[in-house]
Structure 1
Amino acid sequence: MSRFLFVVPPLTGHINPAVGVAAALAGRGHRVAWACPDPALLRRLAGVGAEVFGCAGAPEGSRPPELRGPEALRFLWEWYLLPLAEAMAPGVRVAVGEFRPDVVVADQQAFAGALVAERLGVPWATSATTSAEFTDPLSGLPKVREWLEERLARLRTSIGDPAGGADPRFSPHLVLAFSVAELAGPAEGVRWVGPSVAARPAAAGFPWEWLDAARATVLVTLGTANTDVGGRFLGVCDEALRERADRVQGVVVDPGSPPRAPADDKDVLVVPHVPQLALLERGVAAVVCHAGHNTVGEALWHGIPLVVAPIRDDQPVVAGQVADAGAGVRVRFGRVGARRLGAALDAVLDEPGYRAAAGRIGAAFRAAGGTSAAADHLEELARELS
């Protein structure tokens, strides 16, 4: 049996896809451990028994809400991703030395995992929780690309092998992408495995009895990292949902707002978090979201069409994929009003083409193999390089 060390940032959307893969490997008798700056978050998502090596680093803080496009991307790298790699590197080195993995599985944004593995001569695989990097998002931004490549070179000198040449975002051994070419488009050297949809630790407290079987349920969520910019948009969603209360119920996820008592409002339920997979499986009719890769993947896995309102980072790319596939409608996060949002919602609820397209992508996801296929590829890599 082999040993696999997963190196992940302290971000829910990057940990969750790896959790299912790690569980599949453990179920086959392999030993799995983690390196993460937030062991408590890791164990909450992966289970209390997870073997975790702590390291420095912190969750991404708030960003100036006015930043968009190249400015937002540069801010993300300069103020979070690159410092995170520097902070994580010593702990990752300790984890590799003590756990002695056969393969390091490095999240695509946890550069320390790739660079430390390269420096120590350990094979590494990339866990790509978003497909945006495969579309060359910097093709029209040569100055940004030059700046980024220069910063990665400096980072390699600091924590990696100065003689190495691999881009820490793309392992030369194995790149696992949690999407499919049918949605993201073709990409060379990528193993498309579809979303990592696996059982998660149960979250108690959701008022299942509140749901009205006579009305369609619409889930509204902006993920776990957008609380600081979501207030206006969630207000627009609330207005659009209430205008359709005769046939629609809304479940709105707002981590920054205290939950309201369900008995006080039969039309819109506001909660700080939801058991998302369980809710999708229960029968959500549509999802309104920020085009986060995991939320989009989980919705389409269940054949649920979307209204996507991208905010920053990879989200415009993912939103474009959804719209191009015919599986949803894209709106402008910062400008959409209740009328336009309501029209988009009506379209995905009432026009069968959107649900049919979502169903086709969902079928492609399931055919890709998910966590089992990802585990297969990692096992094969461990055998080839042993």
Structure 2
Amino acid sequence: MRYLMAVWDGGGATPPNLGVARLLIERGHEVVVYGDPSVAEGILATGATHRQWPTAPQRVSSAIEDDLLRDWEPATPMGAFARLRDRLVTGASGRFAADVAAAIDEATALAEAGSGAPFDVVLADGMLFGALVAAEARGIPNAALVGSVYLAPNPDRPLFGLGLAPARGPLGRLRDRLGFALTNAGWDTGLRDLNTTRARYGLAPLKHVWSQWDRADRVLILTGAAFDNTAPVPANVRWVGPVLEDLPADGALDLPPGDAPLVVVGLSSSYMQQELLLRHIAVALAQLPVRAVITTGPAIDPADVPAAAHVRVVRAASHTALFEHASLVVTHAGHGTVIKALAAGVPLLCLPIARDQPDNAKRVVRHGAGRVLSKRADASAIAQAVVDMLATPTYAAAAAALGERIRAEIASGVLVAELEALPGRALARERAGETSAQEDPR
């Protein structure tokens, strides 16, 4: 089949999407990926064809000044949230829809002229609502790819982003219903933009922004069901296991010599003003009898983080390869780093900064696979936590047990089955009368 993928440079959310492209290509399908120039190398490394977005907002390089959201600039979390909504999800939905619709129409026209093939399926990053609108309007089977835990507002799940535990009792359920209403209210500030885009393509308006996911044939959650909270969700949602893809790194990395425990540090592949925290971690590890590899990400110069004879500091390295040798991972608790560590059975010391990280960190703790420290922790507190965790085997045991369950999900093949069944899913919905003009289900 021929797949059209729509992705953006979303930091740790990008590699799982590229891993999906690689998986499809390995199975003999053709994949064309519309994506930012800053991730072109990663797209091409999968064997897919890369096309730059013609009009949609995009990141042209990994430089800090080219970041699309710059979500570290607003003074409040609500300000950062508004940037995501307005610059990507709803405010830019018209431009993403126009680019995807044009790609579909071009391929269809070439196929009708006998000089090409149409797209059979559209796969869009779950944040690119405009791409999902275009696929819905053109009647192309489609799925939203979500490289994290389930994050849509839901009355049966805790408010996203605060690290809250699942509800227990009437007060907990009331908390979640109130959180659902508040979250929808924040997102629905962008509803007019999204419905304007939908109207442009002849689609019925939605009652809530996140109802756009309900219009997809599938919403594929690229994480372990064993890690996430699988409370009741819409019928088109599936947990399909994580995709453990790494962005390209420069050559192989020699580990520090010796046989001391290896600690791997990763604080996001996108910029989050993490320089001071990286330095605190480096200072902490330099005084301990461990070996360490610190990855800074593309936005931070490794020279700005103090190294030592047994502490290597690099811009990028394959986390999947490093975790095979690691005894502990120190991280901001971005989903990509967390799920790769857990899949390898490695415990985590989490220092969440923002975004989805508090939720991921608290899940790690609830599974017994790690600890949480404040992002303001100093070198002494970090060093003590590392020592304590390395000396406490229950963390590694819990991580190993969870990792076994996650690897079983990956090996099950459910992701491939869902991806390759999408045309049939769409046909079944059409025969059942689930057209795009149907009233919004929520």
Aligned to 1:155: 194
Aligned residue type for 2:58:
A
- 1:278-293 to structure 2, matched below 5 A, reads 278-281=321-324, 283-293=325-335
1:203 to 249, 272, 281: 249
Kept in 2: contact 1:45–1:201 (CA 8 A)? no
Q: What is the Cα deviation at residue 259 of structure 1?
A: 3.9
1:56-75, aligned counterparts within 5 Å?
Answer: 56-59=56-59, 60-64=68-72, 67-75=75-83
**Aligned counterparts of 1:125 and 1:328: Cα–Cα separation in 2:** 33
Are the aligned partners of 1:306 and 1:327 in contact in 2 as well (CA < 8 Å)?
A: yes
Instruction: Check whether the contact 2:22–2:47 (CA below 8 A) recurs between aligned residues.
Output: no
Q: Secondary structure of the equivalent of 1:63?
A: coil
SS of 1:181's equivalent in the other structure is: coil
1:217 maps onto 2:266 in alignment = no
- The residue type paired with residue 265 of structure 1 is A
Two-structure CA RMSD over aligned residues (Å): 2.8
Tell me the amino acid that sits aligned with residue 182 of structure 1. A
2:97 corresponds to which residue? 89
**d(CA) in 2 for partners of 1:362 and 1:68?**
35
Task: State TM-score, norm by structure 2.
Answer: 0.77
CA contact under 8 A between 2:217 and 2:422: conserved in structure 1? Answer: yes
Residue equivalent to 1:364: 405
Share of identical aligned residues, percent?
A: 27
- The superposition leaves residues 18-47 of structure 1 with CA deviations (integer Å, 9 ceiling, x where unpaired) of 222222222222222112233x62343442
Deviation of 1:234 (Å): 0.9
**In the alignment, does 2:221 pair up with 1:177?**
yes
Structure 2: how far apart are the matches of 1:314 and 1:128?
13
Give the Cα separation in 1 of the matches to 2:318 and 2:243. Answer: 16
Look up the match of 1:98: 106
| 1:1-386 matched pairs, under 5 angstroms | 2-38=1-37, 41-47=39-45, 49-55=47-53, 56-59=56-59, 60-64=68-72, 67-99=75-107, 100-133=118-151, 135-137=157-159, 139=176, 140-141=178-179, 142-159=181-198, 161-163=202-204, 165=206, 167-187=211-231, 188=233, 189=235, 190-198=237-245, 203-208=249-254, 210-226=255-271, 228-244=272-288, 246-259=289-302, 265-281=308-324, 283-333=325-375, 335-369=376-410, 372-386=413-427
Change (3 A) 1:146 1:18: same
CA distance in 2, matches of 1:303, 1:65: 36
Please state whether the residue corresponding to 1:369 is helix, strand or coil. helix
Letter in 2 for 1:268: V
SS at match of 2:48: coil
C-alpha separation between the residues in 2 aligned to 1:317 and 1:258?
Answer: 28
Counterparts of 1:19 and 1:83 in 2: how far apart (Å)? 25
TM-fit CA distance, 1:329: 0.7
Specify the SS of the correspondent of 1:182. Answer: coil
**How many pairs does the alignment contain?**
378
Superposition TM-score, scaled by structure 1 size: 0.87
Tell me how far apart the structure 1 counterparts of residues 343 and 46 of structure 2 sit (CA, whole Å). 27
Identify unmatched segments of 5+ residues in structure 1. Answer: none
Alignment partners' CA distance in 1, 2:299 and 2:9 = 19
Residue range with higher mean Cα deviation, 228-237 or 171-180? 171-180
Rounded to whole Å, the distance in 2 between the matches of 1:325 and 1:25 is 32
Aligned-pair CA distance for 1:67: 4.1
CA distance in structure 2 between the aligned counterparts of 1:366 and 1:37, rounded to whole angstroms: 30
The letter for the 2-side match of 1:98 is E
Q: Given residue 96 of structure 1, which amino acid in structure 2 is its aligned partner?
A: I
Give the C-alpha shift of residue 123 in structure 1. 2.1
- Could you tell me whether the CA contact under 8 Å between 2:126 and 2:145 is conserved in 1? yes
Unaligned runs of 5+ in 2: 60-67, 108-117, 161-175, 428-442
Q: Is the 8 A contact 1:8 1:14 kept in 2?
A: no
- Larger gyration radius, structure 1 or structure 2: 2
> For residues 342 and 33 of structure 1, what CA distance do their matches in structure 2 show?
46
Which whole-Å CA distance do the structure 2 matches of 1:157 and 1:347 have between them?
A: 55
How far has the Cα of 1:308 moved from its partner? Answer: 1.1
Quick one: distance in 1 between partners of 2:7 and 2:407?
25
**Aligned partner letter, 1:305:** P
